[in-house]
Amino acid sequence: MEAKRTACEECRKVKERCSFPVDDRESQTCCRCQRLGKPCFTAAKSRTGRPRKLNDISTVPRTGAQFVWSPCDIPASNQAAVPKIAPGDMVFMEFIFRESTFVESFTLDPVFSQGMLTHLFESVHIAPAFLSDVFVACGKRYFKIHFGDSSGDGEIAFENSARAVRALRKASEQIDLVIVLTLGLGIITFDLMTSGLHAHEVCRFTLFAASTLQTPSVGSAGILSGLYLPFYFLDAFNCIIKRQIPVTKGPNKNNGDVDQYMGVCAPLLPHLYKMCAISPSLKYSTSPEHTHQLKAQLTHLEHNVRAWTPSLPAVHSNLISPRLSRIMVMQARIHRAALLLVIHRLQHPFGTSDSTALGMARNILSQIDTIYEPSISTSPSNFESPPSEYRLNFPFLVAAVEIMDEGERQVVLNKASTVVSKRLYNNLERMLEVFLEYVWMRRDGGGGGVWFDWVAEGPPVVIF
């Protein structure tokens, strides 16, 4: 039987209510005090703390505003699914919605943070049982990164992450597609902030799971296009360097949207998929005729990529600042240049046309330097706060492997912490440096062919 009085001092220390023996309802000593052999008394006569004012706090979050988790905000059909979240975990979930820096850390610009915040808020209220653990895990990890907390919550977050993974594995046809994609993206985000070793596998599993789920409501179409894009790009980038086939090729044409992660890069997706389809076929081709056909396809692909000119859709021209518009166009041009460099290397392995590849690589690295210039970027050079995320580690990697001079290589390694935030993705930044050193060592040792064939034998690396 639970006591109706204020908790005793011993129970208050562990933030729990007093409980009494079932066979002794008249006892004035709770079970904990009996077990510890201590007197059971209450110093506080009433519940302390200022009561929460629900009336003047919006239930729809604003960037930097307070997030309120209240059962009355949840549709009646979902109230039974609300999980019991420990008060300590609620602090980290609220941190995601209260601190604008969390959502701003994963987008091209803070202008996208409000839409992302609203989507996360609505999703966790629709399906709290599926999303609460991944939100808590990301909140704990980000809190540890942001404040340098050493309380151990970063390790405890893996328990929440494990439960989130189990929820993703058990996703059935009754679960909304938007919720499954949000869950998968949350797990990937947590993995990128910790080890980064499983992000690609989680991405592919989520895309497979999503293909079996029911078609979402018409109103979800716009949300889905934005949710799918990070999965498509993450899968395609990693499949290119591993010479694998992506789970899906994504949309055949761009609907004119501007993505919060990849800006105006969406038209490149069909070309990325085509690249992934040609590369492994070229590797295992055994006949000269087939090889010639594949190289002809590469030439045609190169022509199509060169013909594409990235630009901001006219419908968004009055909604996005000139600075952000310039950043998105530069981001797309850098990715286009990286794809052209990959095509060049598939046509001309190491030892052939190296000077052309080196010139293309230096051009990419120069453009990456430009996008991070203070006059263009909002990313702080000292990384005291998380930088804007421009998703440039794929172009950076394919360009960096071409550098041969030792002095230039050291400069490239010093840039790794700019392209991949050392503070937010500490393990990924180190993985990228180690992988580059491995490829350079293989190439200096006389390794021929293309470096994609060395990935399976080398240290782990993930592109996002």
The tens digit of pLDDT for each residue in 305-332 reads: 999 999 887 767 777 888 888 999 999 9
Q: Residue 49 phi/psi, 5° resolution? A: 95, 150
> What DSSP designation does 73 have?
G
Query: Which of these, 322, 107, 339, lies nearest to 119 by C-alpha position?
Result: 107
Q: Which two tokens stand for residue 190?
A: 């947590």
pLDDT at residue 159 in the model: 83
Burial 252-280 (b: 16+ CB within 10 A, else e): eebeeebbbbbbbbbbbbbbbbbbbbbbe
Would residue 175 be called left, alpha or beta, if left means φ above 0 and alpha means ψ between -120 and 50 degrees?
beta
pLDDT at residue 44 in the model: 64
Q: Which two tokens stand for residue 438?
A: 């491995």
Q: So where are the chain's domains? A: 1-46, 73-216, 285-457
The answer to whether 71 and 79 are in contact (CB under 8 A) is yes
pLDDT at residue 370 in the model: 92
pLDDT at residue 62 in the model: 39
162: Cβ contacts below 8 Å, ≥ 6 apart: none
The answer to whether 395 and 338 are in contact (CB under 8 A) is yes
Report how far residue 97's alpha carbon sits from residue 118's, in angstroms, rounded to the nearest whole number. 9
Residues of the chain with pLDDT under 70: 1-5, 23-26, 43-88, 98-100, 148-156, 172-174, 214-222, 252-256, 315, 375-388
355: Cβ contacts below 8 Å, ≥ 6 apart: none
The answer to whether 225 and 262 are in contact (CB under 8 A) is no
| Amino acid (1-letter code) at residue 297 | Q
pLDDT at residue 222 in the model: 60
CA atoms within 13 A on the CB side of 95: 20
Q: How far is CA 453 from CA 225, 341, 361, in A?
A: 33, 16, 19
pTM of the model as a whole: 0.77
pLDDT at residue 214 in the model: 56
Query: Each residue of 41-64: pLDDT tens digit?
Result: 776 655 555 554 433 333 333 333
Query: Which of these, 132, 126, 124, lies nearest to 78 by C-alpha position?
Result: 126
The answer to whether 192 and 425 are in contact (CB under 8 A) is yes
